[in-house]
Structure formats: C-alpha cells, structure tokens
Amino acid sequence: MGDAKRRRQGALIQGGGQADPPEVVDTLGGRMHVRWDQGAAATPHGQLVYFAEFLAATGVFERWVSSCPLEYRSGNAPNKRDVLGTLMLGLLGGHRRYAHITALRGDAVAAQALGMNKVVSEDALRRALERIDEATSTAWMRPALMHSVRESLGKPWILDIDASIKPLYGRQEGAELGYNPGKPGRPSHTLHTFWVGNLRLVLDVQVSAGKQHASVHAKAALGRLLDELGDGPDSRRPMLVRGDSGYGNEGILVELESRDQPYLLRLRQTANVQRLVAQLFARQDWSRPDNQGCQMVEDWLQLQGWSKKRRVVVVRQRIKDGIARERRVNGKQLKLDLAGPSVHEGERLWEYAVMVTDAKYPIEAIGQLYRDRADCENGFDELKNQWGLSGFTTHDINRCQTTARACALVYNWWSWYFRAANPGARMEAITSRPLLLAAVGRAAHSGGQTTLYLTPMQGKANRLKPLIANIHAALQHVKAAAEQFKSADRWGLLLRYVSDKIAPSLGPFRPSIGLPATG
C-alpha cells in the first residue's frame, strides 16, 4: 500500500494532479515508451549497503563523525553526518571535483544506508570544510588515519615515503612553479605520502606548496609519524624505511638514525657517487646475478655534507642491446637515449643504482628490497588517478589537506573491505569498486520494512555471492567477539582477522638478519 501511494504521488504533476503521458522514443532496437519517476528510491550503487554494514559493524564511520570538530549554530545548517557521508560517497564514486557531488543528490538509498538525512550540495560541502581550521583538521584526521591502520602493524612491515605532484589550473594558495615532470611550467602542490608497503595502506598525506617537493619539507612529518608508532614492547615501528633519491640526504638520514630506525634510500647521481661507481666497477667481488640479473657490491662512503661514513650498495644490471627510451630535445624533437644512469664496460652496458642503508641485511637482499618498492609506486598512482587524491581543489590549501586525508582514510577502509571479501589478492579501485559497488538498487518500503532489489550490471556477477559471504564471515567474527568482550575494539578485531587471512598471500618478511662489513 505504501509503495502504491508513493508511485501514484510521484507520477502526478504538482499543479495539475494528472499523470504525464509516456514519451514515445524510437530506438535502434524498436519503439519504447518512457515515463519519468522522480519519486522512486533508487541507486546505481546498490551494493553500498554491504559496505554500510561493514562500517556499522566496525564503528569506524561513527567514530570519524563523532570526532569531527564541525559545528553549526543555525538550525537550518546541514548535519555533519550528512556532510561527511556526502564526501565519502563522492570519494567512493571516484569523483575528483566538488561539482561532481551533484550526481549524488538524488541517491536516497545511499543516504538511508549511511544514516543520513540527505546528500548535501557541493556548496554546502565546500563551506563546511572551510569552517575547520588547519590545526583542528590535523588533530581530527591524523588520529583517524592512524587508527585505520595501527592494529595491522604488529607484523614486520616497510614504510615507503614518496612525493607526488598535483598539477593546478587556477589561483590556489600554494600554487607554485616547482618540480613538475608531467606538466613542466604548470603550478602545483606536492603530496608527501607515507605508505605501508605490501598492504598498500596510507599512514598520512601532507599537502605542501609546489616548491616544497624536497624531502626537507617531509622530515618533521616523518619524525612525528615514527614517534606516534611508539617504542619498546608495544612499538609498531617499521622494520625498514624506504624511499627514492629525493630522500637519500643528510637531513633524513640523521632523522632516522637518531631514532635507531633502519632505512634503505636511493642516492642521487652526484659527481662523488658517480666517481664511486667508476671505482667499484673494476672490483672482482660482485655478487652472483640474482633472479632479475642484478649484481651487487658494497662499500663505505662519506659524501660532502655527511657527518659520517655510511654503508652504500651499488646494484647493476646488464642493459640489453636496443633497449632505449625517448627523450625530448628543446621540447620538440624526440631522440633515443639510454635508459637511466648507465656505464660502459668494454662492449657491455650496465644500468646501475646506488643505495645507502644501515639495515643489517645481507647484500643479496638489498636489491630485491628496493625493487619491491615498485608496488608502492603503483599504489601512489592509484590514489591520484582512481581515488581523487589530486582532486577536490579549492583556493585555500587547508581544505585540500583535509580532503586529501579524507581520501586516504576512505581508501584504507575500502582496502580492508575488499581484502575481507577477497583475502587472496587485492585489486585496484578501477576493478574493485565496480565489482563490489555497481548494481542498480530499487528500494521498496512496506510495513516499516525496507526491501532493496539489486540488479548487478557487470559481467562478473557470479563472483559476488562468495565475496559477500567472506565479508559476512569477517563481520560475524567481529560481532561474536564484541558480544563476549564489551570493551573490545571492533575495528582492531577486524584488522587482526583480515591480516591473518591475507598473511599467506603476502609472504614472510624475506631478508634474513646478517651483519654487514665494517668500514
């Protein structure tokens, strides 16, 4: 009866009280009769209800909303739950601009699943985030990010650090001409990201001005993060901090050494480093080629500006004949150039990299450890291109910082959700979101009960039920433990459960402990 009344009211014209006649549309497949039903409760993301159950059972969304410092005095102002729920729906939808929020305004089913009154407008969302100042936003978002990851860090793990460039196209705060290889000459922001290797989870994101791409601008954030991970028996510190050549400098090295934190960082190809490489190529004690054809040798080096000698490892790999890359000359012509830093040795051509480390791992493990960093580079690209980390741009940098951390937080939640569904392997958002979100959902209300009819719209619908069954098993484990121990952290229970499930697919921490030679 309720559905019939709703459909009848939705079909009436507001002024005349008569139903619109159907439109006749002649398509390639034949004639169709079209009626508009603006009052129907429907959603293109019908499977969002399962993710909403995941958030409700673990309590992370409630925790995030309750700790939000957003406050209104007007009785007509939106509820902060509606604001944060709208932001999360936009991020899950892969949106990159506030204007895209308009596409969510009619999704009453998603709003009901998240306990929202409505999906707010893009202007309401933009103004709401403007009310949160930088210090308050940091005190709210950084603990939420740490909470989304911390309980999974009991096993050995690697902290990857990287700086990504966010091109800008307007007059934003911090839009400066800095290092921008993708779009030279374009103002940008810099995203310093701290990453949990293998698990592909984000610990923090720091948005800086375009000229602040150097590692010195991430040094304080790195030290603060390591301090928050603690020390002693309850420490969640990484077994290794890993980074590219932008972080292999005295400032970062001293920051890590003062905390007895092992590291593996790549060095820039300065004149002194190249001189060392030329000397080492004449040595006869290069290691045997590993499964990737890489050979390694180690030495001790003190560069200009360094406070002491440090262990360095040179990794070289034979470049096959004909392998080259294209290089622009004067921004116009294309010219072939050898791939990366290289050295001629007679008729052979080698590509090489130089790493500095104080980790007590044998030399054979160093090359593979740094190659594993390629997986984290894929994660950085996923966050920027599929999750809108480089989107939601405003004139002030503070809101860019808030949305960047919110994007990382929702990304972490979704990552755990998908790994609960599929412990054996992970998928990027371009695959996992259509698989576990896309389904046309139509809600019917009758007798105080809501029934959601789902119609999957993609070709792998036969995989859905086993994945959803795995999610229900994980949530049942959390609910059973929470009923027995009332004070238990439900999110921590889930993280430990999923971590145990995915551990076989990640494999053990490979390098065995071995003392390096002294110099």
- Name the residue type at position 116: M
Residue position matching structure tokens 């004909």: 322
- What's the pLDDT at 320? 65
Residue ranges of alpha helices (H) inside 352-396 are 363-371, 373-386
- What's the pLDDT at 302? 87
Under 8 Å CB-to-CB from 518, ≥6 apart: which residues? none
Count of beta carbons in the 10 Å neighbourhood of residue 393? 20
Provide the β-strand partners of residue 139.
Answer: none
How many angstroms separate the CA atoms of 351 and 294, rounded?
Answer: 10
Residue ranges of alpha helices (H) inside 164-262 are 219-228, 250-257
Furthest-apart CA pair in the chain: how many Å? Answer: 93
Nearest to 89 by CA among 56, 62, 122: 122
pTM equals 0.87
CA distance from start to end of the chain: 85
- Enclosing H/E stretch for 146: helix 134-147
Q: What percent of the chain has pLDDT over 70?
A: 87
- Enclosing H/E stretch for 279: helix 271-280
The tokens for 447 are 């007798």
Burial 286-305 (b: 16+ CB within 10 A, else e): ebeebeeebbbbbbebebee
Map 111-132 to HEC letters: HHHCCCCCCCCHHHHHHHHHCC
CB 242 within 8 A of CB 369: yes
Read off the pLDDT of residues 465-507 as tens digits, 9 standing for 90 and up. 999 999 999 999 999 988 877 778 899 999 999 998 887 655 5
How many angstroms separate the CA atoms of 399 and 230, rounded?
Answer: 29
**Cα atoms in the 13 Å half-sphere on the side-chain side of 31:** 4
Map 203-214 to HEC letters: EEEEEEECCCCC
Residue position matching structure tokens 């990299």: 353
3-state secondary structure of 78: coil
Nearest to 341 by CA among 331, 329, 355, 330: 355
How many angstroms separate the CA atoms of 109 and 106, rounded?
Answer: 9
Nearest to 402 by CA among 40, 74, 134: 134
How many angstroms separate the CA atoms of 469 and 454, rounded?
Answer: 16
Stretches in the chain below the pLDDT threshold 50: 6-7, 9-16, 322-340, 346, 508, 512-519
User: How buried is 109 (Cβ within 10 angstroms: 0-12 exposed, 13-18 middle, 19+ buried)?
Assistant: buried
Read off the pLDDT of residues 126-183 as tens digits, 9 standing for 90 and up. 999 999 999 999 999 999 999 999 999 988 899 999 888 899 988 899 889 888 887 8
- What's the pLDDT at 116? 94
